[in-house]
Amino acid sequence: MTEKQHITIKGVKEGLVFLLDDQCEFSLLLQELQYKLEKSHQQLLTGPIVHVHVKLGTRLANEEEKDQIKSVIRKQGNLIVQSVESDAQEKPEIDEGNNLRVLTGIIRSGQTVEHHGNLLLMGDLNPGGSLLCTGDIYVLGSLRGLAHAGTAGKTEAIIAASLLRPTQLRISEVISRPPDEWMTGDAAMEFAYLNDGMMKIDKMTQLYRIRNQSFIFKA
């Protein structure tokens, strides 16, 4: 493979450590992982049983993605996956409804972030990416993927973004209509909310109309 390498394999006392690039598309990562194990690193597969620790960096990998990584590695008979660790997901979560989680960067296609509380993304949500939380969702960037606020049934939750161009919005159990039916085309920051069981879109300057108290972000 002549393109940029996204996976580094290092030998350690406990076995092998697979360092995976946390910026590239997940599909490319799987392709390179399979290539390395089947083509360029065949010598790894000829010895005794080797324990493997996978490091994802700051990649926000869900359980399905972790299982895919494990599956590719486990196809090689002598490799045993001991752990798949992500720095981004090792931060302790406080199980409180008002807990605010702040993320920076880009949520890419295939990535899902779930949180109990409010979620603030300082970056973009790309098509194919998902944000799910029990509280409100705020995106200081482009929201072009799927956002589901109030996942535990909170109908007062909102979804706000600097650029609201989602593939789908959900608040509690209510799913948005096709985007071309409600997009305003306005460049101002907008938010989605529920009104009599219907999803509405308005400018952030109008938020005070549906909330009696100001928002105070608490880390």
Structural domain for 156, as ranges: 100-209
Give the number of other CB atoms < 10 A from CB of residue 49.
Answer: 9
Residues 6 or more apart in contact with residue 44 via CB below 8 angstroms = 9, 16, 37, 50, 76, 78, 79
Cα–Cα dist 90/62, whole Å: 13
Q: Which residue in this structure is represented by tokens 């752990």?
A: 83
Query: What is the model's pLDDT at position 79?
Result: 84
Say which residues have a Cβ less than 8 Å from residue 139's Cβ, sequence separation at least 6.
120, 121, 123, 124, 125, 131, 147, 159, 160, 161, 162
Encode pLDDT of 160-193 as tens digits: 999 999 999 999 999 986 565 555 556 678 999 9
The pTM assigned to this predicted structure is 0.53
> Does residue 108 have a pLDDT over 50?
yes
Assess if residue 2 is contained within a domain: no
- Is residue 82 domain-shared with residue 143, that is, in the same domain? no
Does some domain include residue 137? Answer: yes
* Residue 93 pLDDT > 70: no
Nearest of 170, 161, 19, 36 to residue 84 by alpha carbon: 19
Over the stretch 118-161, which tens digit does the pLDDT of each residue have? 999 999 999 999 999 999 999 999 999 999 999 999 999 999 99
Does 218 map to a domain?
no
Q: Looking at the structure, tell me whether residues 137 and 63 fall in a common domain.
A: no
pLDDT at position 3:
54
43 lies in the same domain as 109: no
